[in-house]
Structure 1
Amino acid sequence: MKQKKAVKKSKKLPKHLQHINQYAAGIDVGSRSHFVAVPEDADEQPVREFSTFTGDLERLAEWLIACGVTTVAMESTGIYWIPVFEILESHGLEVKLVNARHVKNVPGRKSDVLDCQWLQQLHTYGLLRGAFRPDEQVCTLRAYVRQRVTLVRSAASYIQRMQKALAQMNLQLHNVVADITGATGMRIIKAILGGERNPDVLAAMRDKRCKNSAATIARSLKGNYRPEHLFSLRQAVEFYEFHQSKIADCDRQILEQLKNFDAQDFPNDGSPSRLGEALQRMTGVDLTSIDGIDTNTALKVIAEIGTDMSRWKSAKHFASWLGLSPGARISGGKVLSSTTKPVANKAAAALRMAAFTLFNSKSALGAYLRRQRARLGAPKAITATAHKLARLIYVMLSHGTDYIDAGQEYYEERYRTRVLQNLKRKARELGFELVTLQEPAAVS
């Protein structure tokens, strides 16, 4: 008896697994070369390797267009994706930058060829979502702001070197002056580098707003002036002033870029007031009215997210994208972890720094931060307050509304009312009644 061969019936793929992007390509980005995969029927050699030189990237774009490709997916690998993204986009291709977590390959052999084919396959079925990228004007502003942040960070290192050189000469200037780069500190340091050694003459250069007296400052300026330490101090001061001039150049360039969002012209002096005014006209709201957010913080956030809040469905989605929302790892009805996901988001970092400044604030946000710190600890309280700041920014930019601080007393009263309501509800559930005790009358 002959055994019948099993007939393999071709089943139609379900709707969510049908080819959504028929002409999709996948690129595995590298530092030396890029591997590109196109549909198998688009070319005799569907996987090719291209070098990272500009001419090769132009050739890559032309090959993709010749293959009929309309959309491309690639991972965000370091900064190597930027030239590929910009050149392909300039040729009219739709480029999706995808999160590496979302395209992790199945276990097995791993190679650049398999990676680009996996990206192409996922993108064909429409299983990839492009990462957020603001429009071209905001990207340009973001580049200037990030360069400014780099310069500020580098300048801070030279302030530390100035303090080290002063400490090696036993000049305790940082103990009597709040900021050695302020008016008093820089005048004294410049005089020391000019050859002045008399502590009384140096102390007389103090600013009238300085808290410590001239006698106290003079005592701190009697030191051991060694030539090698003076040499280190001089170089640190020169590097610090050089960085300050470059930061001023960045501020002027940022103000020039902000003018592209508004027709009104501003004096290009790069001052914080001008930057704040231009930023307010760009966004239509005053983000600095939120406690803890100054002009630099608002500029950093806007440079990262832009002004179009329609990219996110709601304030919750926006906070989740920033990495400021609690996680939701649940299995079998049990919460495995609620920690926030690790996200290297510069806007979130700026909001965390803004939240950190609210510990001594008498505002409602300051009261909220202190309440959360008592309940959760400082790190989680900062993240929770940054989450609240993100939601406020989303609402202001979405609806053009202003922020008005209700004050610490209002927040405390609302918290007390909420606690009393919860206690009364729990008492009713247990069959009790919560009664507020009256204060005893004073005995005459």
Structure 2
Amino acid sequence: MRLDRRQRSRRRRHSNPDTSAQVAGIDLGSERHWVCAPGLGGGGREVVDFGATTPELVRMAEWLKDRKIESVAMESTGVYWIAPHEVLEKDFEVLLVDTRQLARVPGWNKKTDPDDCEWIQRLHSCGLLNGSFRPQEQVCMLRTLVRNKANLLAESADWVRRMQKSLDQMNVRVHRAVSDPNGVTGMAMVCAIAAGERDAGKLAPLRDRRCRKSQEEIAEQLSEHWREDHLFSLRQSLQMYDAIAERMTA
């Protein structure tokens, strides 16, 4: 297989005994991935770099197939490992290795990416690496959805705090009038204020029938000191809150 100019290969012989010859090591990066595998002729190791694009990853897999590789070890570097892992796991056993595991083995002295991938291959060939747990595809998809919803909930809570700050700056004490500012009663009042209602006597009847405080007590907490800049911030925060709520129910 012919390699382009950006790819470099070298062969080295080492005295370390190998327990498994058909293994490879990969050092991952944002732009280039360095791969070390046994040479075609069985003489030493060959180190080649590939790009991070999908066509380059496919070419990496073909390069490993040509050398009859059975197992591949790679560092769990940021999110760079995800795409190579998904491409290679179709044809090879893939070990996702914690970087700290590599550092605990005596003799590791990372200088360059080619040296690092060669060190990974040497340890893997001697059976000194353990792969991290990687759940099944359906579990990964479910985990992504759960994490996305958790992020949306955190963003939603942040916009609730911003709405409360805008109200506090106008001394509209919705959080004192009701126990839950983003509950049924609290959000009804906030929406009414954002829509233009300024009369505390008309805001208080929006209370839910299960609310403990009377309309008079609630109206007292809603005594206003309106300012257009804070009302603008309140409307903006409410729109963001509603947009996130819509995304969570989509």
- Structure 1 alignment gaps of length 5 or more: 1-12, 250-444
CA contact 2:97–2:129 (8 Å) conserved in 1: yes
Is 1:138 the counterpart of 2:118 in the alignment? no
**Alpha-carbon distance in 1 for matches of 2:222, 2:246:** 28
CA offsets, 1:15-45, max 9 Å, x none?
xx86333211111111111111112455887
CA drift of 1:245 comes to 1.2
Aligned to 2:4: none
Task: Name the aligned partner's letter for residue 217 of structure 1.
Answer: I
**Alpha-carbon distance in 2 for matches of 1:42, 1:174:** 74
Aligned to 1:183: 184
Richer in helix (by share): 1
**Alpha-carbon distance in 1 for matches of 2:115, 2:236:** 52
Aligned to 2:205: 204
Distance 1:205 1:42, change over 3 A: farther
Aligned to 2:26: 27
Richer in strand (by share): 2
Task: Name the aligned partner's letter for residue 233 of structure 2.
Answer: S
Aligned to 1:426: none
Task: Name the aligned partner's letter for residue 175 of structure 2.
Answer: H
Aligned to 1:85: 85
Aligned to 1:47: 47
Aligned to 1:406: none
CA drift of 1:119 comes to 0.7
- List aligned pairs for 1:270-285, cutoff 5 A: none
Aligned to 2:72: 72
Q: TM-score, normalised by structure 2?
A: 0.87
Percentage of pairs with the same residue: 43
CA drift of 1:157 comes to 1.2
Distance 1:45 1:126, change over 3 A: closer
Aligned to 1:336: none
Distance 1:229 1:159, change over 3 A: same
CA contact 2:38–2:45 (8 Å) conserved in 1: no
- Structure 2 alignment gaps of length 5 or more: 1-14
CA drift of 1:231 comes to 1.0
Distance 1:31 1:55, change over 3 A: same
Aligned to 1:400: none
**Alpha-carbon distance in 2 for matches of 1:138, 1:109:** 34
CA offsets, 1:323-358, max 9 Å, x none?
xxxxxxxxxxxxxxxxxxxxxxxxxxxxxxxxxxxx
Is 1:165 the counterpart of 2:182 in the alignment? no
Relative contact order higher in (CA < 8 Å, ≥ 6 apart): 2
CA drift of 1:122 comes to 0.7
Aligned to 1:123: 124
CA contact 2:23–2:71 (8 Å) conserved in 1: yes
Aligned to 2:36: 37
Aligned to 1:113: 114
Q: Displaced runs of 4+ in structure 1, greater than 6 A?
A: none
Distance 1:42 1:52, change over 3 A: farther
Task: Name the aligned partner's letter for residue 82 of structure 2.
Answer: I
CA contact 1:42–1:67 (8 Å) conserved in 2: no
- List aligned pairs for 1:224-243, cutoff 5 A: 224-243=225-244
Is 1:217 the counterpart of 2:208 in the alignment? no
CA drift of 1:107 comes to 5.4
CA contact 1:42–1:68 (8 Å) conserved in 2: no
CA drift of 1:108 comes to 3.9
Q: TM-score, normalised by structure 1?
A: 0.50
CA contact 2:110–2:116 (8 Å) conserved in 1: no
CA offsets, 1:98-122, max 9 Å, x none?
1111111635452111111111011
CA drift of 1:174 comes to 1.1
CA contact 1:158–1:237 (8 Å) conserved in 2: yes
Aligned to 1:99: 98
CA offsets, 1:394-422, max 9 Å, x none?
xxxxxxxxxxxxxxxxxxxxxxxxxxxxx
**Alpha-carbon distance in 1 for matches of 2:236, 2:43:** 60
CA drift of 1:212 comes to 2.4
Aligned to 1:374: none
**Alpha-carbon distance in 1 for matches of 2:37, 2:197:** 72
CA contact 1:43–1:67 (8 Å) conserved in 2: no
Moved more, 193-202 or 97-106: 97-106
Task: Name the aligned partner's letter for residue 228 of structure 2.
Answer: P
CA drift of 1:85 comes to 0.3
Task: Name the aligned partner's letter for residue 84 of structure 1.
Answer: P
Aligned to 1:261: none
**Alpha-carbon distance in 2 for matches of 1:57, 1:195:** 57
CA contact 1:72–1:93 (8 Å) conserved in 2: yes
CA offsets, 1:158-188, max 9 Å, x none?
1111111111111111122222111001110
Distance 1:151 1:68, change over 3 A: same
RMSD (Å), alpha carbons: 1.9
